[in-house]
Amino acid sequence: MGTKKSLGKEVFSLLKENAASYMMYFALVVIMLVFQIWTKGKFFTAQNISNLFNQAAYVAVLAIGMTLILILRHIDLSCGYVAGLSGAIAAILMEKVGINVWLSMLIVLLMGLAIGFYQGTLVTKFGIPAFITTLAGMFIFRGLLTRSLASTGTIIVTDKTFKAMCQGFIPDIPGNRTGVHIVTMLIALIAVAAVIFFRIRSRKNRQKYNFPVVSLPIFIVGIVAVSVVILFAAWMLAINKGLPISACIVAVILGAYTFMLSKTKLGRHIYGIGGNDQAAELSGVDVKKVTLFAFCSMSVLAAVAGFLYTSRLSSATPTAGLAFEMDAIASSYIGGTAVSGGVGKVTNAIIGTFVIMSLTNGMNLMTIDISYQYIVKGIIFIIAVAFDVRSRKK
């Protein structure tokens, strides 16, 4: 261990074994750099990075929920229109009925919960495949969305709190005239410190139990790479207006779901059901309850995604929700969720979201027609999944 020769070997074997997950980072970097060149430097501007975060937020939230569903070997095609409908109902409650923004959102979140419960019940109790259940849901919620906005058309949202969700930024310390958002940089530094702390702790633990660990140089390179990415992104945001509130919302949800999946019984049970539902059942796992939870969580997150999307546009439109589920499913799979179920991480699904949304963002910057955008995304998606399937077979 540790000599120059074996280091090369280790790098090679790491690349070989984790080809699929490295591929995802590699693709992201390549896509971003290519757009940076093609747009003559318009991609990595403070304004655009900030924009990318806001643009990606709703897909990221959907991708987190979708990852759970896909680990369980189900699918939710309806989440796009559930998001669209949620945004519309929230707008109606705030602008037309005149209910307080927080109460409006609470009502819509409960509506999301009810939708999830309805679809989850069909899947678990009636045994209708999720594909069929949510395809029907896609029809129903699209219809409800169109109907709810039929008399008013597009509703403009004026509530400042609601609009801040996907347009606003976290406050800075008063009187800061440096031109750099100090709180954003502080948060980034804390994040870097946390990454270093947790990685070292986990490494020490693994060593204590003689689990395989990467060699020290590679470990350090990994930490440095993550830190640089965090600091770079934070710097781009800090010289603009700071950390978007949408990013904070995503981060909180991401943190909660990561904790749930990796540290709690519920998370273990989700992976167990995805890996072998019969074995899970016989080990005392309540398969139906856990599956029902995943559908409820998906639809509640779809409601949140609906808020973010509506907030960013400051309006609820009848076309909101179209193809959201496609971006969410693609994000999750590009992020390494196994097509055969049982494997997947929400953090990686977020990386997948950035791959998909960087494509959208970059192609928008280049004013490429939406038809080509779909084709390009489809090709990237299928390459990513094909790569994953092949590398898993070995």
The per-residue DSSP string of 229-269 comes to HHHHHHHHHHTTT-SBHHHHHHHHHHHHHHHHHHHSHHHHH
- Please pick, from the candidates 281, 347, 389, 391, the single residue that binds another protein as defined by CB under 8 A: 281
For another protein, the closer CB: 241 or 268: 268
Among 34, 279, 370, 382, binds another protein (CB under 8 A): 279
Asked if 389 and 371 touch (Cβ cutoff 8 Å), the reply is no
Start-end of H helices in 39-155: 46-71, 79-91, 101-124, 130-148
Taking the CA atoms of residue 307, residue 144, residue 138 and residue 84 in that order, the dihedral angle to the nearest 10 degrees is -20
Q: Is 275 in the site for another protein (CB under 8 A)?
A: yes
- Burial label for 126, CB within 10 Å (0-12, 13-18, 19+), is exposed
Residue with Cβ nearer another protein (199 or 268): 268
Tell me which of 33, 276, 370, 379 binds another protein, using CB under 8 A: 276
159 in contact with another protein (CB under 8 A): no
d(CA 298, CA 283): 25
Question: From CA 38, how far away is CA 97, in angstroms rounded?
Answer: 47
**Binding of another protein by 270 (CB under 8 A):** no
Is residue 73 a contact residue for another protein (CB under 8 A)?
no
Tokens describing residue 362? 């970059």
CB of residue 197 to another protein, shortest distance in Å: 16
Stretch that binds another protein, among 86-94, 103-111, 157-165, 271-279 (CB under 8 A): 271-279
* Spatial separation of the C-alpha atoms in residues 95 and 14, rounded to whole Å: 55
- Confirm or reject binding of residue 272 to another protein (CB under 8 A): yes
**Binding another protein by CB under 8 A: which of 151, 278, 367, 371?**
278
* Binding status of residue 10 toward another protein by CB under 8 A: no
Is residue 222 part of the contact set for another protein (CB under 8 A)? Answer: no
Nearer to another protein, 226 or 343 (CB): 343
Residue closer to another protein (CB basis): 110 or 279: 279
Whose Cβ is closer to another protein: residue 120's or residue 272's?
Answer: 272
Would you count residue 282 as binding another protein (CB under 8 A)? Answer: yes
Query: Residue 13 or 47: which CB sits closer to another protein?
Result: 13
Number of H helices, E strands in the chain: 16, 2
Dihedral angle computed from the Cα positions of residues 225, 332, 267 and 255, in that order, rounded to the nearest 10 degrees: 50
Report the chain's terminal Cα–Cα distance, integer Å: 26
Cα–Cα distance, 183 to 213 (Å, whole number): 35
Cα–Cα dist 371/67, whole Å? 27
Q: Segment contacting another protein (CB under 8 A): 52-60, 283-291, 295-303, 326-334?
A: 283-291
**DSSP three-state, residue 55:** helix
Q: Using the minimum distance from each CB to another protein, give the nearer residue, 277 or 325.
A: 277
Nearer to another protein, 96 or 206 (CB): 206
With left for phi above 0 and alpha for psi between -120 and 50, is residue 199 left, alpha or beta? alpha
197, 198, 259, 372: residue in contact with another protein (rule CB under 8 A): 259
Q: Does the footprint of another protein cover residue 285 (CB under 8 A)?
A: yes
Instruction: Give the interface segment with another protein, choosing from 17-25, 64-72, 77-85, 267-275 (CB under 8 A).
Output: 267-275
Count of residues near another protein by CB under 8 A: 25
Write down the least CB distance from residue 344 to another protein, Å: 11
Interface residues for another protein in 350-379 (CB under 8 A)?
none
Letter for the amino acid at 187? I
CB 318 within 8 A of CB 77: no
Of 199-218, binders to another protein (CB under 8 A) are 205, 209-212
Residue 9 found at the interface with another protein (CB under 8 A): no
**Residues contacting residue 213 through CB under 8 Å, at least 6 positions apart:** 203, 206, 207, 219
Shortest Å distance, C-beta 267 to another protein: 9
By beta-carbon proximity to another protein, the closer residue of 18 and 276 is 276
Residues in contact with another protein by CB under 8 A are 205, 209-212, 259, 263-265, 268, 271-272, 275-276, 278-286, 342-343
